[in-house]
């Protein structure tokens, strides 16, 4: 496979995943902000900006941080490289260039998702935004579904690898912004623990029912952290992402008979996670641990690009 | 204007709504299909094309950067006899074209023999000086030719243009057929239509056959300028259907006069490049130095015989409109036969007599830039405004050698579904001729382009033209019937 095609596929995987994450983030934030007063609402949207790392970009835009402005910035903002529109634009651009490596189904799903946002200038009110996001999620699910039906070839591996790396990054950032909500008893920094906030968090990673299946008893903040970091049966957990990265890279190695630094890095990361538990992580500081995870994930991304000659 | 007295592909020359023999079922189908149903199918076709991303980028039109080419669901039909005559003529012409290109970059016999004036070849901007003296693997230059044909009567077919550089449009032939099979399956029960879907496989075989010698299984690639190019859909479509890599210039490197592509497993040697970029962008070391579309050193690898370029560089010489006017002489010279397919009468404005004839009759003529294509730089006298005609008059006087002129032909029409209902619209036809190391093949089909505006004779997709499926009927369907 052409190195450029591999890079195109990898970035399609990353940007479709990012678009999906942004969609769920917007959806959950609309629900959360509808529960509180005006101040709490603005707080919820500010926090959403932080999760996708675009608070600085938003400030540069000079717009007032009203719920509507942030909603538009996150969904359609052209100055926000992580907005759903920008993610889909990049994904579609890559998909056009790698058209031959995609199935018609996968291409159509990306193309349709892009058609939904391309000429839209406003997300509309809260209800209209929810409808927009729902429509986009349906197309992105269609894309994910098409990956499952793709030939198990290099093409599908690179798409998956991109989405797995992106997923780890998104979950880690989400946890990091909300980490003060997740501390064990006696360590609360944010005052009273807020059931709504936990629920929102679980909803962003579509893990509300998963939590109920895995843990019995009332919602415990540190168990939410455990679920999203260590439970590999939970697809958006960091453990699942680390595990899948190893599996996908081994699939390549099996085909070419060669391994590289990315393989080793991914295996070491997984091995270290398997030796850890949430209690140990809290002792060293969840925030510090998540920051290290994001850095390591970025290093793995670089190693993948180098190993497969992306540029 | 021309529509009223033009030959119609369905009704023939008659005004009596009596379909040509063998085509009656199409006339019945048109009568029986309710307009609402026709409309529904037409829209279904458009939706399918858009969702598949079969788009066409139009230069200089930012708004419509990705437009789909309008597709009309009423097919254009050819009888088996018509097709046999056409394909014999096409084969003859393409054979002559390849012999001509081989000659002008080699022995130049035709110039020495005085069959055509030497300056029209050697002084031509399309003559590729760096290519002189090189012979491509297996001696084939124009592997893929798209010959534009027009029709003016029952037995009157003319060659309008020979596209022998990087002709496009074949993906529309294939996708149009897919759309027709899906939307109008009953037509394929009524007519025995010859299939076109073997084209990608035949093209793949053609590419394989011209690989430079060697025991390795040849590696073929399709070189595209990238996904912002107007024909990118076709590039990806063909690469996909042939199962070969779709590469851009930056994916290739030349080392030791060999071409390599960058893959995730390291460099892989390339033997055949089906290139869809123009000569002038192929190699910045030889041609346009600022080009980033090509590959530095590619021409050296070609000259060293280590890679086949499809089509070979320099084929543009046979695509030139000034050379076109000599094509009957060229066919006679290399085949020793009379041309089976005639040229449209052509005035070379470089000749003073021809120029004065053109200036006198410009309102009735089509004037073309010698090296223009895609309907740009063209004047259709009968439909042009006074201002346009005046501008062309000035241009002709200033640079007569840059123009040729032809009479305005009453191009044949095909019933076409428009906002005004079923109306006749002018068409042309581009079949695709493949020449490999051992044989020439023509898939029974082609691209029918239709000028959607009333009276318009310009069918180019960049000028608002659309396309139709072209049915080549099996021999038994029309056996014993007159044309």
User: Are A180 and A280 members of one domain?
Assistant: yes
Nearest Cβ partner for B265 among A104, A112, A256: A256
Give, rounded to a whole angstrom, the gap between the first and last alpha carbons of chain A.
14
Q: Under an 8 A CB cutoff, do B53 and A112 touch?
A: no
Q: What is the mean pLDDT of residues A265-291?
A: 93
* Any A CB within 8 A of B262 CB: yes
Count: domains in chain A: 2
pTM assigned to the model: 0.82
Q: Which pLDDT value is given to residue B61?
A: 38
Domain that holds residue B220: 213-306
Q: What is the mean pLDDT of residues B196-225?
A: 93
Q: Which pLDDT value is given to residue B290?
A: 87
Last residue of a domain, one of A132, A150, A168: A150
pLDDT in tens, B68-116: 778 999 999 999 999 999 999 999 999 999 999 999 999 999 999 999 9
Which residues in A lie closer than 8 A to residue B264 (C-beta atoms)? 1-3, 6, 154, 256, 308-309
Please report whether residue B219 resides in a domain: yes
Last residue of a domain, one of A129, A150, A171: A150
User: Are A108 and A197 members of one domain?
Assistant: no
Q: Which pLDDT value is given to residue A95?
A: 93
* Any A CB within 8 A of B463 CB: no
Q: Under an 8 A CB cutoff, do B264 and A309 touch?
A: yes
Most confident stretch, A52-56, A190-194, B121-125, B337-341 = B337-341
Beta bridge partners of B472: B78
Q: What is the mean pLDDT of residues B30-44?
A: 90
User: Are A222 and A117 members of one domain?
Assistant: no
User: Are A93 and A68 members of one domain?
Assistant: yes
CA distances from B322 to A63, B154, B172, B358 (A): 62, 28, 29, 15
Please report whether residue B297 resides in a domain: yes
- pLDDT band for position A178 (50/70/90)? confident
Of residues B57 and B129, more confidence is placed in B129
* Any A CB within 8 A of B118 CB: no
Last residue of a domain, one of A117, A150, A183: A150
Among the listed residues B341, B320, B273, the one whose alpha carbon sits nearest the alpha carbon of residue B100: B320
Please report whether residue B432 resides in a domain: no
Which residues in A lie closer than 8 A to residue B246 (C-beta atoms)? 5, 99-100
Q: B278 to chain A, minimum CA–CA distance in Å?
A: 20
Please report whether residue B238 resides in a domain: yes
Please report whether residue B317 resides in a domain: no
User: Are A264 and A289 members of one domain?
Assistant: yes
- pLDDT band for position B251 (50/70/90)? very high
User: Are A70 and A186 members of one domain?
Assistant: no
ipTM, two decimals, is: 0.78
**Are the CB atoms for B229 and B57 separated by under 8 Å?**
yes
Chain A residues contacting B via beta carbons under 8 Å:
1-6, 93, 96-97, 99-100, 104, 107-108, 111-112, 154, 256, 258, 308-309
Least confident among A18-22, A133-137, B11-15, B96-100: B11-15
* Any A CB within 8 A of B263 CB: yes
Q: A113 to chain B, minimum CA–CA distance in Å?
A: 11
Q: Residue by residue, what is the 3-state secondary structure of chain A?
A: CEHHHHHHHHHHHHHHHHHHHHHHHHHHHHHHHHHCCHHHHHHHHHHHHHHCCCHHHHHHHCCCCCHHHHHHHHHCCCCCCCCHHHHHHHHHHHHHHCHHHCCHHHHHHHHHHHHHHHCCCCCCCHHHHHHHHHHHHHHHHHHHHHHHCCCCCHHHHHHHHHHHHHHHHHHHHHHHHCHHHCCCCCCCCCCCCCHHHHHHHHHHCCCHHHHHHHCCCCCCHHHHHHHHHHCCCCCCCHHHHHHHHHHHHHHHHHHHCCCCHHHHHHHHHHHHHHCCCHHHHHHHCHHHHHHHHHHHHHHHHHHHHHHCCCC
Q: Which pLDDT value is given to residue B60?
A: 38
Nearest CA in chain A to B235: A100
User: Are A159 and A299 members of one domain?
Assistant: yes
Question: What is the CATH number for B292?
Answer: 3.40.50.11290
Q: Residue by residue, what is the 3-state secondary structure of chain B?
A: CHHHHCCECCCECCCCCCCCCCCHHHHHHHHHCCHHHHHHHHHHHHHHHHHHCCCECCCCCCCCCCECCCEEEEEEEECHHHHHHHHHHHHHHHHHHHHHHHHHCCCCHHHHCCCCCHHHHHCCCCCCHHHCCCCCHHHCCCCEEEEEEEEEECCEEEEEEEECCCCCCHHHHHHHHHHHHHHCHHHHHHCCECCCCCHHHHHHHHHHHCCCCCCCCCCEEEECCCCCCCCHHHHHHHHHHHCCEEECHHHEEEECCEEEEEECCEEEEECEEEECCCHHHHCCCCCCCCCCCCCCCHHHHHHCCCCEEECCCCHHHHCCHHHHCCHHHHHHHHHCCCCCCCECCCEECCCHHHHHHHHHCHHHEEEEECCCCCCCCEEEHHHCCHHHHHHHHHHHHHCHHHEEEEECCCCCEEEEEECCEEEEEEEEEECEEEECCCCEEECCCCEEEEECCCCCCCCCHHHCEEEEEEEEECHHHHCCCCC
Nearest CA in chain B to A154: B264
Q: Which pLDDT value is given to residue B322?
A: 86
Q: Which pLDDT value is given to residue A186?
A: 58
Domain that holds residue A93: 1-150
Chosen for mutation from A6, A89, A99 (greatest number of chain B CBs closer than 10 Å) is: A99
Would the pLDDT of B463 be above 90? no
* Any A CB within 8 A of B232 CB: yes
Could you give the dihedral angle defined by the CA atoms of residues B315, B321, B326 and B332, in that order, rounded to the nearest 10 degrees?
Answer: 50
Q: Which pLDDT value is given to residue B56?
A: 53
Q: Which pLDDT value is given to residue B373?
A: 58
Strands in B245-247's sheet, in edge-to-edge order, are B245-247, B220-223, B272-275, B308-310
Q: B275 to chain A, minimum CA–CA distance in Å?
A: 16
Please report whether residue B383 resides in a domain: no
Which residues in B lie closer than 8 A to residue A99 (C-beta atoms)? 53, 227, 233, 236, 240, 246
What integer best gives the mean pLDDT of chain A? 89
User: Are A221 and A140 members of one domain?
Assistant: no
Count: domains in chain B: 1
Please report whether residue B153 resides in a domain: no
Q: What is the mean pLDDT of residues B21-31?
A: 93
User: Are A116 and A253 members of one domain?
Assistant: no
Nearest Cβ partner for A112 among B51, B239, B261: B51
User: Are A76 and A214 members of one domain?
Assistant: no
Q: What is the mean pLDDT of residues B344-363?
A: 92
What integer best gives the mean pLDDT of chain B? 89
User: Are A224 and A273 members of one domain?
Assistant: yes
User: Are A181 and A304 members of one domain?
Assistant: yes
Q: Under an 8 A CB cutoff, do A97 and B247 touch?
A: no
Measured CA to CA, the distance from residue A79 to residue A85 in angstroms comes to 10
Strands in B365-369's sheet, in edge-to-edge order, are B347-348, B403-407, B365-369, B378-380
Please report whether residue B231 resides in a domain: yes
- pLDDT band for position B122 (50/70/90)? very high
């Amino acid at each position: 496979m052409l190195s450029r095609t591999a890079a195109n596929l990898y970035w399609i995987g990353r940007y479709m995943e990012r678009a999906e994450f942004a969609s769920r983030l917007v959806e959950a934030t609309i629900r959360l902000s509808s529960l509180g007063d005006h101040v709490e609402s603005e707080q919820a949207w500010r926090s959403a900006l932080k999760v996708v790392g675009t608070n600085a970009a938003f400030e540069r835009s000079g717009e007032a941080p009203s719920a509507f402005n942030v909603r538009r910035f996150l969904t359609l903002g052209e100055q926000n490289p992580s907005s759903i529109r920008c993610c889909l634009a990049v994904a579609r651009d890559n998909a056009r260039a790698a058209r031959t490596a995609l199935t018609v189904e996968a291409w159509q799903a990306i193309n349709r998702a892009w058609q939904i946002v391309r000429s839209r200038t406003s997300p509309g009110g809260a209800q209209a935004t929810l409808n927009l996001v729902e429509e986009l999620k349906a197309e992105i699910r269609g894309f994910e579904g098409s990956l499952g039906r793709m030939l198990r070839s290099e093409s599908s591996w690179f798409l998956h690898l991109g989405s797995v790396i992106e997923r780890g990054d998104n979950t880690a950032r989400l946890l990091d912004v909300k980490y003060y909500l997740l501390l064990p008893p006696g360590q609360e920094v944010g005052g009273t623990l807020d059931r709504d906030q936990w629920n929102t968090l679980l909803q962003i990673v579509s893990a509300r029912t998963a939590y109920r299946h895995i843990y019995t008893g009332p919602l415990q903040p540190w168990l939410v952290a455990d679920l999203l970091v260590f439970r590999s049966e939970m697809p958006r957990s960091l453990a699942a992402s680390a595990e899948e990265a190893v599996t996908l890279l081994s699939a390549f190695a099996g085909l070419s008979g060669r391994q590289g630094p990315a393989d080793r890095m991914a295996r070491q990361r997984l091995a270290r996670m398997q030796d850890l538990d949430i209690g140990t992580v809290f002792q060293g500081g969840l925030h510090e641990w998540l920051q290290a995870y994001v850095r390591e994930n970025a290093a793995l991304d670089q190693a993948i690009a180098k190993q497969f000659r992306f540029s | 204007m021309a529509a009223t007295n033009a030959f119609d592909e369905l009704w023939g020359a008659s005004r009596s709504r009596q379909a040509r023999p063998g085509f009656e079922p199409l006339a019945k189908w048109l009568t029986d299909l309710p307009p609402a149903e026709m409309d529904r199918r037409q829209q279904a076709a458009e939706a399918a094309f858009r969702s598949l991303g079969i788009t066409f980028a139009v230069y200089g039109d930012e708004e419509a950067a990705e437009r789909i080419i309008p597709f009309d669901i009423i097919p254009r039909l050819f009888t088996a006899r018509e097709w046999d005559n056409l394909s014999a003529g096409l084969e003859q012409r393409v054979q002559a074209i390849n012999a001509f290109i081989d000659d002008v970059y080699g022995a130049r016999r035709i110039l020495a023999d005085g069959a055509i004036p030497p300056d029209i070849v050697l002084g031509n901007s399309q003559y590729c000086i760096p290519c002189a003296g090189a012979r491509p693997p297996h001696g084939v230059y124009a592997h893929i030719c798209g010959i534009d044909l027009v029709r003016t009567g029952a037995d009157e077919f003319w060659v309008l243009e020979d596209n022998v550089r990087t002709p496009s449009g074949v993906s529309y032939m294939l996708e149009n057929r897919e759309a027709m099979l899906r939307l109008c399956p009953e037509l394929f029960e009524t007519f025995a239509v010859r299939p076109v879907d073997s084209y990608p496989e035949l093209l793949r075989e053609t590419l394989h056959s011209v690989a430079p010698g060697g025991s390795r299984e040849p590696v073929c690639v399709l070189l595209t300028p990238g996904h912002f190019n107007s024909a990118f859909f076709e590039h990806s479509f063909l690469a996909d259907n042939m199962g070969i890599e779709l590469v851009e210039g930056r994916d290739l490197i030349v080392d030791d006069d060999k071409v390599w592509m960058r893959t995730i497993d390291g460099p892989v040697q390339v033997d055949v490049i089906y290139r869809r970029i123009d000569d002038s962008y192929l190699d910045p070391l030889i041609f346009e130095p600022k080009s980033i579309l090509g590959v530095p050193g590619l021409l050296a690898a070609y000259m060293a015989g280590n890679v086949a370029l499809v089509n070979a560089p320099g084929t543009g010489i046979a695509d030139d409109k000034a050379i076109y006017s000599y094509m009957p002489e060229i066919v006679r010279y290399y085949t020793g036969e009379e041309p089976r397919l005639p040229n449209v009468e052509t005035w070379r404005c470089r000749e003073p007599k021809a120029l004065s004839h053109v200036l006198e009759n410009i309102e009735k003529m089509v004037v073309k830039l010698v090296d223009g294509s895609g309907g740009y730089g063209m004047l259709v006298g009968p439909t042009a405004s006074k201002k346009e005609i005046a501008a062309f008059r000035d241009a002709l006087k200033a640079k007569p050698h840059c123009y040729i002129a032809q009479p305005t032909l009453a191009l044949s029409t095909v019933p076409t579904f428009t906002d005004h209902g079923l109306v006749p619209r002018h068409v042309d036809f581009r079949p695709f001729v493949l020449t490999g190391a051992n044989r020439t093949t023509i898939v029974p089909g082609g691209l029918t382009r239709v000028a959607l505006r009333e009276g318009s004779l310009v069918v180019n997709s960049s000028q608002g033209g659309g396309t139709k499926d072209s049915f080549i009927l099996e021999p038994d369907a029309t056996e014993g019937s007159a044309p």
